Amino acid sequence: METYFLNLLTVFIQYICMFELAFKYTKQSILKYRLKILAALPLILLSATLQFFAANDVSRPFISVCFMILSLLFIFRKRIIETVILYTITFLPILLLKIIMTLILNLSPFDSTPKLLFDILTLIITMSAILLTNRFFDMNRWYTTLMSLNSYIKTAWACTFIAVLAIQVVISARLTSTADLIILFTMIVFILFVNFDGILFQKEFNDTKKELESYEHYMPIVQELIDYIRIRQHDFDNCLQAVQMFPVIYEDYDSITKALNSFEKHAEIDHTKLELLKINLKLVAGFLISKSSDAKALGKNVQIKIKNYNLSTSLPEYTLIELYGILMDNALEAISEGDTVFIEINSKDGKIIFNIRNKGPVITPKLRESIFQKGYSTKNADSHNRGIGLYKLKNTVDENNGIIILDNEKHSNDNYISFTIIV
């Protein structure tokens, strides 16, 4: 009976380690899922019992893996392949530490330590390592990158799961040879290296693809504006020649004034677009020109003030476009026809300072606390995509060590909501 309870304790600690890692990866609150975790306790108890009464060492890992995946599936409700990947990346660190601890034990004079006590000690060290790692490493960022990859890379991780299962079976057979353990450790490191290399390659591929898509979409806008200015320059030259002839053609002042007024309308040009062309980030310029044109078509105005034309940031332009797009879409949707969205762009200390303000509600402490939460929206909740934009914006800014400033401003007795992001 004592052995059973020790085995039960080992399984429970193993599940705690797995859940702790899973919640760090997914950036979810344990308290939010506390009822589901409690509901999963019978699964954990059944897993421990079946492992204890298993006929042989080979069947125990299969029981453990099946019940762990079932518990993750029950709690997080993700697709099966995503659950398998989540299990793999949570259990690999535990497995690595277990092999390291076994190696240390084999090389130490305390190699007679009971297996269950050794497993408990390993899991406690694992839990401490998880808590320590989370302070210095953004586990959610790595997990999010992994989940955003294509099916090829996800399949590679599924293969890793099979390898992990096989290795766990071998370990459960109680290998004692140091050479065998070193081989196992090398195998796991190699599997991790291959998968990480695939992830990095896929991430670089996705980044390049996004950048090319942004160029394809926004660079033609910039080029069209440049071509337009060249044509207008030719027209201006003709206009100047015509104006020079006014004193010859018209004999009185009123006629000359009338002719000049007609030429003034013909010579009008959008100076905001000219200012945007001076920005060194041409994709950002094209995006802002495009958004300004979209706003104008809706009967709304966008006023842009550039304080620094040499914008400096570590973020790729397509990421900036995503961030600015979220803010501009929200601002334009919030204002009425005829109203104006004000934008100010500056750059300092290697970061871009982007401020946008529009007529909006007074920011209460409750609104300030809720506005960046996933699913929160002040708009109609008809669409399942509501409340995603600002949540995504905050995550992206936080991941890149940026700053978000949310404030209220008063202009002509109107209340304005102001967003500033520094990245």
The two three-digit tokens of residue 367, written as one number: 């609104």
DSSP letter assigned to residue 138: -
Q: Contact at 8 Å (CB) between 151 and 85?
A: no
DSSP letter assigned to residue 378: S
Quickly name the fold that domain 278-422 has.
Heat Shock Protein 90 (3.30.565)
**What's residue 328's pLDDT?**
93
174 band by pLDDT with thresholds 50, 70 and 90? low
233 band by pLDDT with thresholds 50, 70 and 90? low
361 band by pLDDT with thresholds 50, 70 and 90? confident
pTM: 0.54
- The answer to whether residue 314 scores a pLDDT higher than 80 is yes
Taking residues 315-337, report their average pLDDT. 91
In this prediction, what percent of the chain has a pLDDT beyond 70? 65
179 band by pLDDT with thresholds 50, 70 and 90? low
Higher pLDDT, 19 or 173: 19
Q: CA angle at residue 394 from 390 to 396, to 5 degrees?
A: 115
DSSP for 68-132, please give it.
HHHHHHHHH---HHHHHHHHHHHHHHHHHHHHHHHHHHHHSTTTT--HHHHHHHHHHHHHHHHHH
Taking residues 105-121, report their average pLDDT. 63
**What's residue 344's pLDDT?**
95
383 band by pLDDT with thresholds 50, 70 and 90? very low
pLDDT in tens, 251-291: 677 777 777 666 665 555 566 777 888 888 888 888 888 88
pLDDT in tens, 38-56: 888 888 888 888 877 775 5
The residue ranges of every structural domain in the chain are 2-209, 278-422
- The answer to whether residue 318 scores a pLDDT higher than 80 is yes
The set of long-range contacts for 75-79, using a CB threshold of 8 Å and a minimum separation of 24, is: 75/19, 75/22, 75/33, 75/36, 75/37, 75/40, 76/22, 76/26, 76/28
CB neighbours of 402 closer than 8 A, spacing ≥ 6? 351, 396, 421, 422, 423
